[in-house]
A and B are shown apart, each in its own frame.
Chain A
Amino acid sequence: MLPISGHSSVLLIGKNGAGKTAVGLALEILQKIARGTNRIDDLVTSKDFTRGRLDVAMRFEIEVELGNQIYQYVIAFELPKGFKELRVLEESLAVDGKPVYSRERAQVHLAKTGHEKEAKFLIDWHLVALPIVQEQSPKDPLSIFKQWLARLLILRPLPSLISGDSKKETLQPDTQVTEFGAWFAGLLAYAPAAYTEMDAYLRQVMPDLKDIKNPLIGKDYRSLIVQFSNSQGSLHLPFEDLSDGEKGFMICALVLAANNAYGPVLCFWDEPDNYLALDEVSHFVLALRKAFQSSGGQFIATSHNPEAIRSFSDENTLLLYRRDHLGPTLIRAINELQISGDLINALIRGDVEL
């Protein structure tokens, strides 16, 4: 269990292989389900069982408060002997403890809602039910939860792959943010005022920024152009020519604006300090922490960077620790540990252990 309840921002630290990135990978599986992937083979395979133990079910559970209601989604997979593909062992969605639907293997049980009677039906046990169960309306708890889960921002950006070109609009960027242009277009189509927020943040970071344009350069094909200007003139740069760190600022601007426009959003950002100059790291992290504090969303970062680590407090910094590859990942908040002196120095000495 990841104890992040009640924190608007959380930092995960720990040695390489401790399981920090795996938290994002687990969230990504749930996100994929909500985005419509329901064939289990496209989500997990037999190699994903912990330590290859096929006799122990693989479980994913998430609990979230949305609009003063607690949503709890559980899905467990198993691989019985003789099976080539995993199947669903159990699956359920509950709101404030009341089931929306529950499922055991192929048997799905839809709870009674309003005038609708409860219903039972069978589905292929190699398929996840969440994308299939029909929503009644946008206010349906199923719809609210699925939309929130689909809009999780799980980010491991690869700036060199981000061109700024787009053929569509989306509010659901991929983890590497290669669809930055589509996300930019989708966000502005959904909430044009989001540009103001992006612009305000970006001008703090890059005071000579004039504007960002997204002109059509072909049929249904757009490409972002960034304009800088000062008293000596102006410069138009294709988005892909920005530096890796500058692309990071752009992604941060989109995260801040997205959380305001269609949040509250859960944002998991794996090493947000990557590509940033040292004197930018704490400003970058604090801008994200501050925005998520006031919006009701949640920001989870991982990092090995001293400046990023220093930008969090002991109660919202979690140590993930694994003795060896065969052991489980243990998690503790830093304020529950005995650490002599400065945390960064203790991390450098390798003395932060459970």
Chain B
Amino acid sequence: MSVNKNQPHLLLLPEDDANRQLANGFLKEVDGARQRQMQVLPVAGGWQEVLSLFKAVHVMEMERYHRRFMVLLIDFDGQEDRLGKAREVVPEDLQE
């Protein structure tokens, strides 16, 4: 059995390969039971692609699986307004 979707679980969506490796490093440090509740998704290919994918796919899936949390791994590249742009795509009911 993979991630137990009836329990809190976390999907990490990395912008690029560097962020994917960062996420792997993090997962390698958490204990086995928690690690199984986390999954690194394939690289989106850019910060805008992360937001597009989140909107197109993951918002709907988060509505379906109420115990799902997501981490969007985005580089700001010195442009702080990206945080605001990222927040804009997260529906209010999914914000915590």
A-side residues, CB < 8 A to B, are: 200-201, 204-207, 277, 279-280, 282-283, 286-287, 289-290, 293, 306, 310-314, 341-344
Contact B2 A311 (CB under 8 A): no
Q: A290-B32, A290-B35, A342-B43 are in contact. Are A314 and B27 (CB under 8 A)?
A: no
Contact present for A343 and B24 (CB under 8 Å): no
User: Which listed residue (A204, A293, A312, A343) contacts B36, Cβ 8 A?
Assistant: A204
Would you call the interface of chain A mostly helix, strand, loop, or mixed?
A: helix
B7-50: CB near A (< 8 Å → 1, else 0) gives 00000000011001100110110001101100110110100000
14 pairs, A vs B, C-beta closer than 8 Å: A200-B32, A204-B32, A206-B1, A277-B2, A282-B39, A282-B40, A283-B2, A283-B36, A286-B35, A310-B20, A310-B40, A310-B42, A313-B21, A314-B21
In the assembled complex, which residues on chain A have CB atoms less than 8 Å from the CB atom of B27? 286
Do B32 and A293 have beta carbons less than 8 Å apart?
no
| Contact indicator B24/A313 (Cβ below 8 Å) | yes
Which residues of B sit under 8 angstroms from A293, Cβ to Cβ?
28
A267 to B24, CA, bound (A): 21
**Which residues does chain A contribute within 8 Å of B24, judged by CB atoms?**
286, 310-313
| Minimum CB distance partner of A335 in chain B | B21
Contact among A200, A205, A279, A341 for B39, CB-based, below 8 A: A279
* Given known A-B contacts A310-B42, A313-B21, A344-B42, A280 and B2 have beta carbons under 8 A apart: yes
Residue of B nearest to A306 (CB): B42
Q: State in angstroms the CA–CA spacing of A70 and B63 once bound together.
A: 56
- In this assembly, does B3 line the interface, its C-beta being within 8 Å of a C-beta of chain A? yes
Expressed in whole angstroms, the minimum distance between the Cβ of B24 and any Cβ of chain A is 6
Expressed in whole angstroms, the Cα–Cα distance for A323 and B69 within the complex equals 45
Nearest 9 pairs of A and B residues by beta carbon: A279-B2, A313-B21, A342-B43, A290-B28, A204-B36, A283-B36, A286-B27, A280-B2, A204-B33
Q: How far is the CA of A287 from the CA of B16 in the complex (A)?
A: 23
Give the chain B neighbours of A306 by CB distance below 8 A.
Answer: 42
Cβ-defined contact, A314 with B17, below 8 A: yes
Question: Would you call A283 and B35 a contact (CB within 8 A)?
Answer: yes
- The residue of chain A having its C-beta at the shortest distance from the C-beta of B43 within the complex is A342
The smallest beta-carbon distance between A74 and chain B, in angstroms, is 34
**Distance of A98 Cα from B27 Cα, bound (Å):** 41
What's the minimum C-beta distance from B49 to chain A, rounded to whole angstroms? 11
Residues A313 and B2 in contact in the complex (CB < 8 Å), given A204-B32, A286-B35, A342-B45: no
**How far is A16 from B28 in the complex, measured between Cα atoms in Å?**
29
**Quick check: A341 and B45 within 8 Å, CB to CB?**
yes
A137 to B33, CA, bound (A): 41
| In the bound complex, CA of A204 to CA of B42 (Å) | 23
Complex CA gap A280/B36 in Å reads 9
> Measured between C-beta atoms, what is the minimum distance from B69 to chain A in Å?
17
**Bound: A342/B2 CA distance, A:** 25
Distance A306 CA – B20 CA, assembled complex (angstroms): 13
Closest residue of A by beta carbon distance from B35: A286
CA A314 to CA B21, docked complex, whole Å:
8
CB distance from B22 to the nearest CB of A (A): 9
Provide the bound-state CA to CA distance between A205 and B35, in Å.
11
Task: Say yes or no: A343 contacts B1, CB within 8 Å.
Answer: no
Chain A residue with the shortest CB-CB distance to B4: A207
Most chain B beta-carbon neighbours within 10 Å: one of A206, A279, A286, A289: A286
Q: Which residues in A have their C-beta under 8 angstroms from that of B32?
A: 200-201, 204, 287, 290
Closest Cβ–Cβ distance, residue A195 to chain B (whole Å):
16
A313 to B24, alpha carbons, bound, how many Å? 8
Closest residue of B by beta carbon distance from A208: B1
Q: How far is the CA of A261 from the CA of B90 in the complex (A)?
A: 48
Q: Which residues of A contact B43 (CB under 8 A)?
A: 310, 342, 344
Query: B35 — which chain A residues lie within 8 A by C-beta?
Result: 283, 286-287, 290
In the assembled complex, which residues on chain A have CB atoms less than 8 Å from the CB atom of B1? 205-207
